[in-house]
């Protein structure tokens, strides 16, 4: 059917139905047929009939969730000019553009949303007091998001880089995933958990909101969350600051005593280990399963490292929720996932008291950075590193399915792959991830322990130069042994 005729047919259906809201089921109908261009045609047809915002947002969502990048990009180019300049739509557009490998376009959309929010909040009578209210969804329901978002915010604030806001976080008790961690941020913001104040701030939140997805700094610059984390960490390190958070010695002492009752010797030094596996998010399929699987790793490839640390006289403490992937019984392995004393407080004790940590891209590794616990970020992604200067970076390699060629570091951290952690999008671009081998992980663990003993290899300047040349912020050094093994490919 010709485009003009299809548009007129859609308009007629909308006039005879529920107005512009009638476009929503039609969007789902054409999305189910896999027709991305028809999806945009519906938005074009709906535009003259009223506010296209809800329809545009739904179209963005469907494009993002259901279509491969190759079909999404041309449709997105047609859709973007139709979208209204509102906070919600521009935020949604930013997430989609980021997901298809357009960090510059995403940054512009996020910045537009942040400026619109700032302008709206400025009109509120209480805005002059500096009061800004954080939405609890990002901060209290996820271990990692608490660390990343509040950590970034607190560091920018402590460095004087944020406007002089009075930050308030309404955090209902029942929604907090780790209350002891959240409480450690009390010096940096006001946390309200119950009573009339909670109701009051929750009511005020939409009008005095601060969206940490894209933070506006005092100098007018605006950074998307991933880049904001890196910028805050770089500024923090350059200022010579130590760990943002600390547990009181008596809390660590009490936690170690409790853990000793279950098999971890109180005087033992240990390495914390967290490997995310498919059980973390339960059942998922399709593109969602691909997205999640990209962040998983095989715990079996970490077994030789556990044995090596044991041979050095240390223990390994496996962190995380109970997992169906049990580990074989090994000397000096304390499987915290299986003990009855697991608690939010002990989670923090183990992360803060560890000599170092080996983790994947998940919450415990992000929390470790707040306590200054040196971390080997294994099976990570090329340009989405949330790390500190005392960490080691051990990324997966990127391989093209078409010819088996491994990508260079510059290719892996440049558009369209820059910042991408969703397996479905990498799959759309014909990229498969090559997991770290057991040898890679052993070498990085050994290197970390040697660094802690004062034997630090020189960082290869070519890595930092690659980051600089591609517009990325470089913080943590790559494992020297991993780089030596793959230097010809990466550099």
User: Mean pLDDT lowest for which of 30-39, 115-124, 261-270, 337-346?
Assistant: 30-39
Is 179 a residue whose pLDDT tops 80?
yes
CA-based nearest residue to 152, from 77, 81, 57, 217: 217
Q: What pLDDT, on the 0 to 100 scale, is given for residue 1?
A: 44
Span 369-386, pLDDT tens digits: 999 999 999 998 887 667
User: Mean pLDDT lowest for which of 4-8, 83-87, 180-184, 191-195?
Assistant: 4-8
Look over the chain and give the mean of its residue pLDDT values, rounded to a whole number.
Answer: 88
Residue 60's pLDDT band, with cuts at 50, 70 and 90, is: confident
Q: What is the distance between the alpha carbons of residues 388 and 476, in angstroms, rounded to a whole number?
A: 6
Q: What pLDDT, on the 0 to 100 scale, is given for residue 311?
A: 96
Over residues 70-80, mean pLDDT: 84
Over residues 245-257, mean pLDDT: 98
Is 15 a residue whose pLDDT tops 70?
no
Q: What is the distance between the alpha carbons of residues 326 and 324, in angstroms, rounded to a whole number?
A: 6
Q: What pLDDT, on the 0 to 100 scale, is given for residue 16?
A: 62
Q: What is the distance between the alpha carbons of residues 161 and 163, in angstroms, rounded to a whole number?
A: 7
194 phi, psi to nearest 5 deg: -160, 170
Span 303-362, pLDDT tens digits: 999 999 999 999 999 999 887 677 888 999 999 999 999 999 999 999 999 999 999 988
Span 143-159, pLDDT tens digits: 888 999 999 999 999 99
Is 5 a residue whose pLDDT tops 80?
no
Is 86 a residue whose pLDDT tops 90?
no
How far, rounded to the nearest angstrom, does the alpha carbon of residue 281 sit from its chain's CA centroid? 15
Pinpoint the alpha helices (H) of 239-385.
249-260, 286-293, 303-311, 344-353, 363-371
Q: What is the distance between the alpha carbons of residues 28 and 9, in angstroms, rounded to a whole number?
A: 17
Is 198 a residue whose pLDDT tops 60?
yes
Over residues 74-79, mean pLDDT: 86
Q: What pLDDT, on the 0 to 100 scale, is given for residue 474?
A: 86
Of residues 348 and 37, more confidently modeled: 348
Q: What is the distance between the alpha carbons of residues 373 and 359, in angstroms, rounded to a whole number?
A: 11
Residue 301's pLDDT band, with cuts at 50, 70 and 90, is: very high
Over residues 26-32, mean pLDDT: 84
In this structure, what DSSP letter does residue 100 have? T
Q: Are 445 and 358 in contact (CB under 8 A)?
A: yes
Is 473 a residue whose pLDDT tops 90?
no
Pinpoint the alpha helices (H) of 286-437.
286-293, 303-311, 344-353, 363-371, 409-412, 423-428
Is 426 a residue whose pLDDT tops 80?
yes
Q: Before 416, cis peptide (omega within 30)?
A: yes
Q: What is the distance between the alpha carbons of residues 271 and 264, in angstroms, rounded to a whole number?
A: 12
Residue 106's pLDDT band, with cuts at 50, 70 and 90, is: confident
User: Mean pLDDT lowest for which of 169-178, 414-423, 446-455?
Assistant: 414-423
**Neighbour count for residue 142 (Cβ, 10 Å):** 16
Over residues 219-231, mean pLDDT: 85
Indicate the CATH number for domain 249-490. 3.40.50.2000
Over residues 164-183, mean pLDDT: 94
In this structure, what DSSP letter does residue 177 have? S
Of residues 1 and 328, more confidently modeled: 328
Q: Domain residue spans in the chain?
A: 3-84, 127-238, 249-490
Burial call 234-269: b when 16+ CB within 10 Å, e when fewer:
eebeeeeeeebbebeeebbeebbebbeeeebeeebe
User: Mean pLDDT lowest for which of 14-23, 250-259, 263-272, 354-363?
Assistant: 14-23
Which residues, other chains included, contact 17 with Cβ-Cβ below 8 Å and sequence gap of 6+? none
Query: Would you say the C-alpha torsion 146, 152, 153, 159 has a positive or negative sign?
Result: positive
In this structure, what DSSP letter does residue 34 have? T
Over residues 297-304, mean pLDDT: 95
The C-alpha angle 242, 243, 249, rounded to 5 degrees, equals 110
Q: Are 268 and 315 in contact (CB under 8 A)?
A: yes
In this structure, what DSSP letter does residue 85 have? -
Over residues 241-262, mean pLDDT: 97
55-69, 74-88, 390-404 — most confident range = 390-404
Q: What pLDDT, on the 0 to 100 scale, is given for residue 135?
A: 83
Over residues 248-253, mean pLDDT: 98
Q: What pLDDT, on the 0 to 100 scale, is given for residue 280?
A: 65
């Amino acid at each position: 059917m010709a485009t003009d005729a299809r548009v007129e047919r859609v308009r007629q259906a909308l006039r005879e139905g529920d107005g512009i809201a009638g476009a929503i089921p039609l969007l789902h109908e054409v999305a189910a047929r896999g027709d991305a261009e028809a999806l945009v045609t519906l938005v074009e047809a709906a535009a003259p009939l009223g506010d296209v915002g809800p329809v545009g947002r739904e179209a963005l969502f469907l494009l993002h969730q259901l279509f491969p990048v190759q079909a999404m990009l041309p449709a997105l180019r047609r859709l973007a000019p139709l979208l209204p300049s509102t906070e919600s739509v521009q935020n949604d557009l930013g997430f989609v553009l980021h997901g298809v490998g357009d960090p510059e376009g995403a940054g512009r959309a996020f910045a537009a949303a942040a400026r619109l929010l700032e302008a709206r909040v400025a009109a509120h009578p209480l805005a002059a007091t500096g009061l800004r209210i954080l939405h609890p969804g990002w901060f209290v329901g996820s271990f990692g998001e608490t660390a990343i978002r509040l950590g970034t915010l607190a560091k920018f604030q402590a460095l004087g880089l944020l406007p002089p806001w009075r930050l308030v976080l309404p955090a209902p008790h029942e929604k907090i995933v780790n209350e002891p961690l959240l409480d450690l941020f009390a010096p940096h913001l006001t946390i309200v958990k119950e009573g009339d104040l909670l109701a009051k701030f929750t009511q005020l939140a939409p009008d005095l909101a601060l969206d940490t997805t894209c933070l506006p700094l005092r100098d007018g610059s605006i950074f998307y969350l991933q880049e904001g984390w890196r910028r805050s960490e770089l500024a923090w390190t350059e200022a010579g600051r130590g760990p943002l958070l600390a547990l009181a010695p008596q809390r660590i002492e009490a936690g170690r005593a409790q853990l000793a009752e279950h098999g971890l010797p109180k005087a033992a030094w240990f390495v914390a280990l967290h490997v995310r596996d498919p059980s973390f998010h339960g059942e998922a399929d399709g593109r969602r399963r691909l997205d999640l699987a990209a962040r998983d790793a095989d715990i079996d490839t970490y077994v030789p490292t556990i044995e090596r640390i044991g041979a050095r006289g240390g223990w390994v403490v496996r962190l995380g929720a109970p997992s169906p992937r049990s580990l074989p019984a090994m000397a000096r392995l304390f499987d915290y996932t299986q003990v009855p004393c697991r608690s939010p407080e002990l989670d923090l004790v183990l992360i803060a008291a560890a000599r170092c940590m080996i983790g994947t891209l998940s919450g415990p590794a992000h929390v470790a950075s707040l306590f200054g616990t040196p971390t080997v970020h294994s099976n990570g992604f090329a340009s989405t590193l949330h790390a500190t200067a005392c960490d080691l970076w051990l990324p997966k390699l990127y391989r093209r399915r078409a010819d088996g060629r491994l990508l260079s570091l510059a290719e892996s951290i440049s558009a369209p792959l820059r910042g991408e952690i969703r397996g479905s999008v990498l799959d759309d671009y014909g990229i498969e991830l090559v997991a770290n081998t057991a040898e890679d992980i052993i070498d990085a663990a050994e290197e970390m322990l040697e660094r802690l003993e004062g034997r630090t290899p020189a960082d290869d300047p070519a890595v930092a130069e690659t980051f600089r040349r591609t517009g990325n912020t470089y913080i943590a050094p790559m494992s020297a042994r991993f780089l030596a093994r793959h230097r010809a490919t990466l550099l």
